[in-house]
Amino acid sequence: MRAFFLLITLALTLSFSAAGCHALHGPANVQHPRPVGHTPEYTPVYIEKAFTQSEHDAIHRALAGWNYVLNGYQVYSVASDDFDYDLDVIEQISNTDQGLVFVRASIAMADSLDLSDGILVEKENNGVLAWVPGLGEQVVFIVTDRIGTRDLTAITEHEIGHTLGIPHLPIKGTMLYPYYTFGASCIDRATVQALASLSRGRFDWHFMNWCELPL
């Protein structure tokens, strides 16, 4: 499995370097037709009410970004914008794949993590910005008090990628790069191709959309 992922990473690196970007002034969208005859899978989303309105808006934009990319394969639909934090309910939702949950986490909670156990977005000094408990798990923890002027929409898009099962990509500038280096919210071609490659036929990247990054 490790060898398989290394081959995927090499292919994505070459693809991203050779054809994934053009000399653009900013991110540009690449759009394709929706898959024919495919019934969308709807995923309800529960957002903790502890988030501020602007934080809620950023999470909504991230969900819309992934809905654009998934292009009808899967659709995120907000079921609750004022979800009360309840660990038992969160575990039930996550364990039964009944939805995606966003939780507002504290700096103290983030700093107590064993960094080897989580899938993390890190600052250059290793301060945790957001995480999911593991690849494919449906709970996203966001340390909003540490976000500052960083793009919360991009950080949330990164974590949604992990909930879809995408590991970190060692390609700087891509959405799934492990350190915060985002110049803008942009779910790029390398991220989309990684998702399709790991999905075992669930997604075909030829029918998905993405964003092309400037050089």
Grouping H, G, I as helix, E, B as strand and the rest as coil, residue 110 is helix
For 74, phi then psi, to 5°, come to -140, 145
- Reported as a pLDDT band with limits 50, 70 and 90, residue 60 is very high
The pLDDT tens digits for 20-40 are: 333 333 456 667 677 667 788
163 touches 103 (CB < 8 A)? no
Which one-letter amino acid corresponds to residue 157?
E
Q: What is the mean pLDDT of residues 53-62?
A: 97
Confidence label for 197 from pLDDT (cuts 50, 70 and 90) = very high
For residue 97, what are its two tokens?
């794949």
Mean pLDDT of the 189-202 span: 93
Would strands 139-142 and 100-104 be described as parallel, antiparallel, or unpaired?
parallel
Query: Residue 179: what pLDDT?
Result: 86
Please answer whether residues 160 and 59 qualify as being in contact, where contact means their C-beta atoms are separated by less than 8 angstroms.
no
Residue 180 has pLDDT above 80, yes or no: yes
pLDDT tens track for 79-94: 999 998 888 888 778 7
Per-residue model confidence (pLDDT) at position 14? 37
Give the residue, 30 or 19, on which the prediction is more confident.
30
AA letter at 57: D
Are the CB atoms for 173 and 17 separated by under 8 Å? Answer: no
Give tens-digit pLDDT for 82-131.
998 888 888 778 777 789 999 999 999 888 877 555 567 666 667 889 99
pLDDT at site 8: 46
The runs of H, that is alpha helices, within 71-172 are 87-95, 107-111, 152-163
Residue 3 has pLDDT above 60, yes or no: no
For the cut 90, the answer to whether the pLDDT of residue 159 exceeds it is yes
pLDDT at 11: 44
Domain 38-212, second-level architecture: 3-Layer(aba) Sandwich (3.40)
How many degrees, rounded to 5, is the angle at CA 102 between CA 97 and CA 105?
A: 130
